[in-house]
Structure 1
């Protein structure tokens, strides 16, 4: 069974929080995956930073990520041979109802969703960051 997880950056301190997403008329919130006595906390996050877990992990094996790092929407993969040396961004394709990796030039030209282009996610790559935490990776890639 697939895990439905989300992450987002907190409004109050910009730290990442993981859990279920809740959108209301007052804002976007993450309800963390922790057991609490009483009312569940709702942590307000920047809505543009919310990304869903793809169900895949990358190939990175470290002490921190012994099974690989979870891959979320908005994550960045390094340049690859199939992308003509461009970084790739993880996007959700509504038409195909699946996640894919999109080269930066296609991501920029299609309002962030990559249109019909892109590649199946490759869990053999390593996540090198995400579009909100490492925007310099996108700027460097644009200038090449």
Structure 2
């Protein structure tokens, strides 16, 4: 069975909270704010001790069920470096290390739920507009979380 969980930024301290998601209608936060759609989002911890936190609705993202090459969970809204298996071999005359070469031919993308599946949304020199592709990099590729759209939007520029 796949694990269903969410994360969102705490309205009080901007920390990421992880757990189950609840959506309460027509509630106003203690600080006087409410979300634009009239709902209050809360994350309920699934670990002990159990806690309930109000989170900023725009920051809520669902866990994809996948982990990156370092074992980090991948969430909707994460920014990833992804290298697909169709990369060519590095020419011997290229002075870059293999690590530098692979980083240079990989893509920076954001994780989205589009067309009823988890995908990465890529924008770069190769594409003139946002391009959607699968989130699994294949047998010889890799995916690595390098940030998220809420804390590190500059990574997509």
Fold similarity call, TM over 0.5: yes
Aligned residues: 117
- In the other structure, the counterpart of 1:134 is 152
- In the other structure, the counterpart of 1:102 is 121
| Distance in 1 separating the partners of 2:55 and 2:113 | 20
- In the other structure, the counterpart of 1:51 is 61
Secondary structure at 2:62 match in 1: strand
- In structure 2, the gaps of 5 or more residues are 28-39, 87-104
- In the other structure, the counterpart of 1:63 is none
RMSD: 2.3
| Distance in 1 separating the partners of 2:81 and 2:2 | 26
Secondary structure at 1:48 match in 2: helix
- In structure 1, the gaps of 5 or more residues are 61-67
| Contact 1:89-1:104 at 8 Å conserved across structures | no
- In the other structure, the counterpart of 2:42 is 29
1:80 to partner: Cα distance: 5.2
| Contact 1:55-1:71 at 8 Å conserved across structures | yes
| Contact 1:80-1:87 at 8 Å conserved across structures | no
Report the structure, 1 or 2, having the larger helix content. Answer: 1
Secondary structure at 1:8 match in 2: strand
Correspondence 1:1-144 to 2 at 5 A: 1-25=1-25, 26=27, 27-36=40-49, 41-60=51-70, 68-78=71-81, 87-93=108-114, 95=115, 97-104=116-123, 117-122=131-136, 124-138=142-156, 141=157
| Contact 2:82-2:143 at 8 Å conserved across structures | no
Q: Deviations over 1:12-44 (max 9, x none)?
A: 0000000000111121100011235xxx63210
